[in-house]
């Protein structure tokens, strides 16, 4: 008996003639993600990804953990492989699922016969295996609606497979299939969640972080890189462009109206981010803005700050409340890092009464007091790129 993983595809199965491209990308992502666990044969047949260890010593728990964060998979089945023979299938189920059969109170058997040359049909397989398991474990009661243990038997072209109670996958689409986007990554709760949500739609991320030393500390910078490392579990390798922002903020404070500090600062961020995005072939910018959460995230303010960009600005958490965002942050394990008390540059020189309904021409009039292009060029020239694995 050999244990393998059967990975069930999600919305990829709805794709048409380009479905093979999605499957190839998913296999590539799985190969990359599993390289630290061991050597595997990974291939796609009949809307299922097969992950077969080449060595019996491979840690399958680690393999499951790795693939659980690969977008494009809706469920993960730890399955035992066996010959396509009813007696062998029963013996495999008894051996592979013995512990769970002993502790469960209710069960049912589902069967799927993908190999139409197999002599028994799916209902016949389920009835025969189910009856035999009940004979061996008479304490089990059959519950076809909500069983505690659902035993699955799949008779496929090459072999038969036995598994039970699949684990949830990450869903979404394979990262990279929908291009790359630049994530404005702060040290807060929202932006890592925004990056996760866009990565789930098949987009590879490039991080951009603005720091204002000495107003922000090295610990704040380290915090952001730790958040980026959490995102690599879903995105894979992540480059983060670290942008020095101190001079720009000081120039804004020295020459512009206080109530527009944040707006002008964010317009500079968007300009610089678009420059970085184009350098790394990103097709959009991603922000963690949530409508009405702070003064700079009103519709008017977002319109003014986004007006300096030609690339689309994706705001995946714009309609979510804080509780919803925190729930996802806990799920992806970024929340505890985000709440560490190391502030980012967005909290530097915060106005007492920020403008919540700005007019574009008023903001542009204040910006005209600054050498905008010169400041942008200087910041871009000093960017440091850090690669996270």
CB atoms within 10 A of CB 263: 27
Structure tokens of 362?
């008023």
Scanning 48-162, the segments in alpha helix (DSSP H) are 60-67, 86-96, 98-103, 122-136
Which stretches of the chain score pLDDT less than 50? none
- Among 193, 198, 135, smallest CA distance to 325 is for 193
CA 281 to chain centroid, in Å, comes to 20
DSSP β-ladder status, 313-314 and 180-184 = unpaired
**pLDDT of res. 355:** 84
The reported pLDDT for the residue numbered 345 is 66
pTM for the predicted model, two decimal places? 0.91
* CB 241, CB 273: distance < 8 Å: no
Strands 180-184 and 167-171: unpaired
pLDDT value for 265: 94
User: What pLDDT, on the 0 to 100 scale, is given for residue 346?
Assistant: 67
Q: What does the pLDDT look like over 295-335, one tens digit per residue?
A: 788 999 999 999 999 999 999 999 999 999 999 999 999 99
CA nearest neighbour of 235 among 197, 181, 193, 199: 199
pLDDT (0 to 100) of residue 353:
78
- 53: which strand partners? 40
pLDDT tens per residue, range 198-208: 999 999 999 99
- Backbone φ, ψ for residue 164 (5° rounding): -155, 145
């Amino acid at each position: 008996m050999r244990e393998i993983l059967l990975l069930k595809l999600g919305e990829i199965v709805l794709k048409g003639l380009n479905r093979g491209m999605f499957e190839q990308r998913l296999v590539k992502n799985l190969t990359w993600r599993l390289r630290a666990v061991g050597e595997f044969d990974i291939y796609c047949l009949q809307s299922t990804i097969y992950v077969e260890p080449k060595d019996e010593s491979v840690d399958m728990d680690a393999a499951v953990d790795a693939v659980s964060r690969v977008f494009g998979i809706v469920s993960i089945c730890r399955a035992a492989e066996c010959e396509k023979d009813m007696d062998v299938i029963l013996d495999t189920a008894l051996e592979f699922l013995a512990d769970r059969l002993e502790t469960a109170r209710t069960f049912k058997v589902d069967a799927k016969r993908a190999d139409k040359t197999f002599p028994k049909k799916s209902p016949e397989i389920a009835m025969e295996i189910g009856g035999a398991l009940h004979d061996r474990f008479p304490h089990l009661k059959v519950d076809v609606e909500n069983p505690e243990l659902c035993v699955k038997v799949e008779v496929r072209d090459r072999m038969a497979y036995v598994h039970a109670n699949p684990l949830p996958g990450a869903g979404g689409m394979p990262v990279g299939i929908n291009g790359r986007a630049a994530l404005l990554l702060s040290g807060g709760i929202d932006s890592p969640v925004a990056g996760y949500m866009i990565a789930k739609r098949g987009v590879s991320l490039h991080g951009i972080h603005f720091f204002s030393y000495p107003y922000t500390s090295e610990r704040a910078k380290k915090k952001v890189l730790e958040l980026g490392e959490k995102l690599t579990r879903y995105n894979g390798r992540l480059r983060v462009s670290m942008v020095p922002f101190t001079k720009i903020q000081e120039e804004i404070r020295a020459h512009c109206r206080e109530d527009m500090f944040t707006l002008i600062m964010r317009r500079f961020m968007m300009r610089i981010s678009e420059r970085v995005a184009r350098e790394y072939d990103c097709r959009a910018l991603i922000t963690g803005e949530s409508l009405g959460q702070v003064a700079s995230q009103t519709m008017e303010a977002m319109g003014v700050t986004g007006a300096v960009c030609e690339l689309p600005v994706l705001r995946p958490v714009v309609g979510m409340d804080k509780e919803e965002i925190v729930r996802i942050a806990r799920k992806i394990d970024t929340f505890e890092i985000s709440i560490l008390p190391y502030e980012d540059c967005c909290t530097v020189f915060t106005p007492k009464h920020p403008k919540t309904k700005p007019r574009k021409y008023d903001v542009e009039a204040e910006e005209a007091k600054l050498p905008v292009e010169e400041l942008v060029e200087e910041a871009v020239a000093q960017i440091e790129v850090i690669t996270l694995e």
